[in-house]
Amino acid sequence: MRAALLILPVLLAACSEPGAERIDKVIDGPLPGDRAISVADAGGEPLARVGSDGFRVLIQPSFGRYRYYLSLRRLPAGCLPRARQQDDGQDCGPGRISARRIDENDGEVRKAEFFVPGEEVDTLVGDLDARLTRWRGTDTVTFDGTRVSLERVRNGSVRSIDTNHDGPENPASQLRRDLQRILLAYGPTGFAPRSSSWSVRNVVEQDACHNPALATPLDRGFGVGDSDCDAAKRWPR
């Protein structure tokens, strides 16, 4: 039975065929049809609210308790990063992130809004834009994992991707990791997931050395991932 349990995730994870058509490509314009970010998940926030330079993203782990919606808007409205200014335009200050954590069990929504330093946002969106330009899709079909639906607005133009393919060159996959780090650094305590997959299990399933949880301060300091498990092994009570 244990062997079957170990094999199952491998069977579900991914498959590819030589010469297969590439999927999960970046497209021009908002996500269409059933791939679109729903009005309910966005809390009624339209794409236009992110302004001329921002993004919105929906992160949905396959087996997690929560899905997350986040949007980024540069402030003040209409500003551009210095690297993209052609004249004496207005510099951007901090970025505002609005976030919603939606409970898959009962539909409860927890909201958060916080600000991120302008230099941090410059790096975040600069790396994202570079990956969106380089990415040509994948020939690997992934059946589970963490689905990321992203709509990026730059200079008023929209590029989008909807994917659960995992990899450092996939712009949506890497943004998922970057946003976890930013949530941990600037967001409210207990809101972000500990796991970079964004998967959070039910409270009754959590323990120090198994199953991801929400990122809350630990007895021995703040940490993510398996840090509590590591601490328990290194400093037993």
Report the pLDDT value the prediction gives residue 164, as an integer from 0 to 100. Answer: 92
Which parts of the chain have pLDDT scores under 70?
1-21, 85-89, 202-212, 216-237
Report the pLDDT value the prediction gives residue 60, as an integer from 0 to 100. Answer: 96
Per the structure block, which two tokens stand in for 221?
């300091």
Angle at CA of residue 148, ends 8 and 184, nearest 5°: 100
Report the pLDDT value the prediction gives residue 20, as an integer from 0 to 100. Answer: 53
Kindly provide the residue ranges of all beta strands, DSSP E only, lying in the chain, ordered along the sequence.
14-16, 27-28, 53-61, 66-74, 95-103, 109-116, 140-142, 146-154, 157-163
End-to-end CA distance of the chain: 34
Report the pLDDT value the prediction gives residue 3, as an integer from 0 to 100. Answer: 45
Identify the DSSP state of 115. Answer: E
Give the number of other CB atoms < 10 A from CB of residue 46. 11
What letters, b where the CB count within 10 A reaches 16 and e where it falls short, cover 145-162?
bbbbbbbbbbeeebbbbb
The Cα 136–Cα 22 span in angstroms is 8
Name the CA dihedral angle for 20, 24, 29, 34, rounded to a multiple of 10 degrees. 100
Per the structure block, which two tokens stand in for 211?
């199953």
Is the omega angle on the peptide bond into residue 76 within 30 degrees of 0, that is, cis?
yes
Report the pLDDT value the prediction gives residue 10, as an integer from 0 to 100. Answer: 39
Report the pLDDT value the prediction gives residue 235, as an integer from 0 to 100. Answer: 47
pTM to 2 decimal places: 0.81
Report the pLDDT value the prediction gives residue 36, as an integer from 0 to 100. Answer: 97
Report the pLDDT value the prediction gives residue 153, as an integer from 0 to 100. Answer: 97
